[in-house]
């Protein structure tokens, strides 16, 4: 970035914040000092939206896609912030630069905010924008990425799209948390939940893909249209692999040649055990490896990434 910050920077020594940097109320501050009111609708009612993007080796990955989705969420929730996409881009770049992290997990978020009169009318609340950059984190740790995850499918039903639009990235996770505890009870490491028809939906912060006879499928409805999910569609097209969103009955998982999950927090992550069954004899499959390798190679492609200016 060559432009200067759009607001006054108030911080101590740059590049000395191992826990991360936040932007709140027009200033940059250590992430531990970022706070919201207990009266904020985002806290009381989960009335908020957000988007996350990662920085890898000093560059944002697919930031334009994340900004586009964030603005779509704001519009659907009838929220507004006092910044345009170019200004938010600058704020996010500044958070990363001031933190000094080369690999970071970066979030932009907007809560409904608070009402001066504690009104129950959401139109009376003043929307509040915040952002932060913290060290990069993954759904799967290094060992799990190498050997593949153990996932259990829970009977918990994902919030239906007729209730909460999955196109709006949100903090409604009680169903997903219930699914996690189901998975832990089965000795698994994370969970998938199902939709109202009993088909596979998604997991806590990730989409899922099935590979069968060289073709890929992923749940079509009632799930967040993940940016990494979209990246897989584009990578499959480049590799000449058939890939389509469709209804994915949970019974199909048992016969999968390969499974993997996708998230900004971790990228392409293999699954080598589903419930009590191994996938691909418990080994990471070749299609998953090809997609994963090209996904990370794209991080050096200027069409997919944008470098951070750390010279603030």
Segment 293-310 mean pLDDT: 97
Distance between CA atoms of residues 175 and 155, nearest Å: 10
CA angle, 36 as apex, 164 and 58 as ends, to 5°?
80
Is the residue at 3 inside a domain?
no
Helix orientation angle between 63-76 and 85-99, rounded to the nearest 10 degrees: 120
Radius of gyration of the chain (CA): 20
Whether residue 290 has pLDDT greater than 70: yes
Is the residue at 74 inside a domain?
yes
This prediction's pTM: 0.93
- For residues 89 and 183, state if they share a domain: no
Distance between CA atoms of residues 171 and 160, nearest Å: 15
- For residues 149 and 281, state if they share a domain: yes
CB 43 within 8 A of CB 37: yes
Predicted local distance difference test score (pLDDT) of residue 4: 39
Distance between CA atoms of residues 312 and 309, nearest Å: 7
- For residues 51 and 88, state if they share a domain: yes
Interacting residues of 67 by C-beta distance below 8 A, sequence separation 6+: 51, 85, 88, 89, 108
Distance between CA atoms of residues 88 and 90, nearest Å: 5
Is the residue at 208 inside a domain?
yes
- For residues 153 and 68, state if they share a domain: no
pLDDT in tens, 22-50: 999 999 999 999 999 999 999 999 999 99
Write out the DSSP string of 17-67.
Answer: -TT-EEEETTEEEEGGG----TT-HHHHH--EEEEEEEEETTEEESHHHHH
Whether residue 179 has pLDDT greater than 90: yes
Enumerate the β-bridge partners of residue 61: 305
Q: Half-sphere exposure of 71 toward its Cβ, with a 13 Å CA cutoff? A: 13
Predicted local distance difference test score (pLDDT) of residue 1: 42
Predicted local distance difference test score (pLDDT) of residue 236: 98
Predicted local distance difference test score (pLDDT) of residue 11: 44
pLDDT in tens, 43-95: 999 999 999 999 999 999 999 999 999 999 999 999 999 999 999 999 999 99
Segment 100-121 mean pLDDT: 95
Residue 43: both structure tokens together: 């806290």
Segment 13-22 mean pLDDT: 76
Is the residue at 78 inside a domain?
yes
- For residues 118 and 190, state if they share a domain: no
Whether residue 3 has pLDDT greater than 90: no
Backbone angles phi, psi at 269, to 5 degrees: -125, 120
Is the residue at 12 inside a domain?
no
- For residues 148 and 257, state if they share a domain: yes
pLDDT in tens, 128-175: 999 999 999 999 999 999 999 999 999 999 999 999 999 999 999 999
Asked which of 137, 159, 191 is the last residue of a domain, the reply is 137
CB 65 within 8 A of CB 277: no
Residue-number span of the structural domain to which 258 is assigned: 142-299
Tokens 């990434």 correspond to 305
Residue 5: both structure tokens together: 């910050």
Segment 290-297 mean pLDDT: 98
Residue 39: both structure tokens together: 């009266």
Asked which of 109, 137, 165 is the last residue of a domain, the reply is 137
How many domains does one find in the chain? 2
Output the domain CATH number for residue 279.
Answer: 3.20.10.10
CB 213 within 8 A of CB 202: no
- For residues 177 and 190, state if they share a domain: yes
Backbone angles phi, psi at 235, to 5 degrees: -65, -40
Is the residue at 7 inside a domain?
no
Predicted local distance difference test score (pLDDT) of residue 72: 97
Q: What is the mean pLDDT of the chain?
A: 94
Predicted local distance difference test score (pLDDT) of residue 18: 82
Is the residue at 79 inside a domain?
yes
Predicted local distance difference test score (pLDDT) of residue 16: 64
């Amino acid at each position: 970035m060559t432009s200067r910050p759009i607001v006054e920077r108030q911080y101590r020594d740059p590049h000395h914040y191992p826990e991360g940097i936040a932007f709140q109320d027009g200033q940059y501050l250590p992430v531990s000092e970022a706070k919201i009111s207990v009266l904020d609708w985002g806290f009381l009612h989960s009335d908020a939206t957000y988007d996350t993007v990662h920085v890898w080796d000093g560059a944002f990955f697919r930031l334009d896609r994340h900004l586009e989705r964030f603005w779509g969420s704001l519009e659907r929730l009838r929220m507004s912030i006092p910044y345009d996409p170019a200004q938010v881009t600058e704020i996010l770049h500044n958070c990363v630069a001031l933190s000094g992290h080369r690999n970071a997990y970066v979030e932009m978020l907007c809560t409904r905010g608070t009402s001066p009169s504690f009104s129950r009318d959401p139109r009376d609340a003043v929307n509040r924008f915040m952002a932060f950059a913290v060290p990069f984190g993954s759904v799967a740790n290094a060992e799990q990425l190498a050997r593949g995850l153990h996932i259990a499918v829970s009977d918990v039903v994902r919030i239906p799209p007729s209730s909460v639009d999955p196109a709006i990235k949100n903090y409604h996770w009680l169903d997903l948390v219930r699914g996690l505890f189901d998975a832990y009870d089965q000795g698994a490491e994370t969970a998938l939940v199902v939709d109202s028809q009993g088909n596979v939906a998604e997991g806590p912060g990730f989409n899922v893909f099935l590979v069968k006879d060289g073709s890929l499928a992923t749940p079509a409805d009632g799930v967040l249209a993940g940016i990494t999910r979209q990246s897989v569609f584009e990578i499959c097209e480049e590799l000449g692999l058939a890939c389509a969103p469709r209804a994915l009955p949970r019974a199909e998982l048992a016969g999968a040649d390969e499974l993997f999950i996708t998230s900004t927090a971790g990228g392409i992550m293999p699954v080598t055990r589903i419930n009590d069954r191994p996938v691909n004899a418990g080994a990471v499959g070749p299609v998953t490896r090809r997609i994963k390798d090209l996904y990370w190679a794209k991080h050096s492609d200027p069409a997919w990434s944008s470098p951070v200016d750390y010279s603030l």
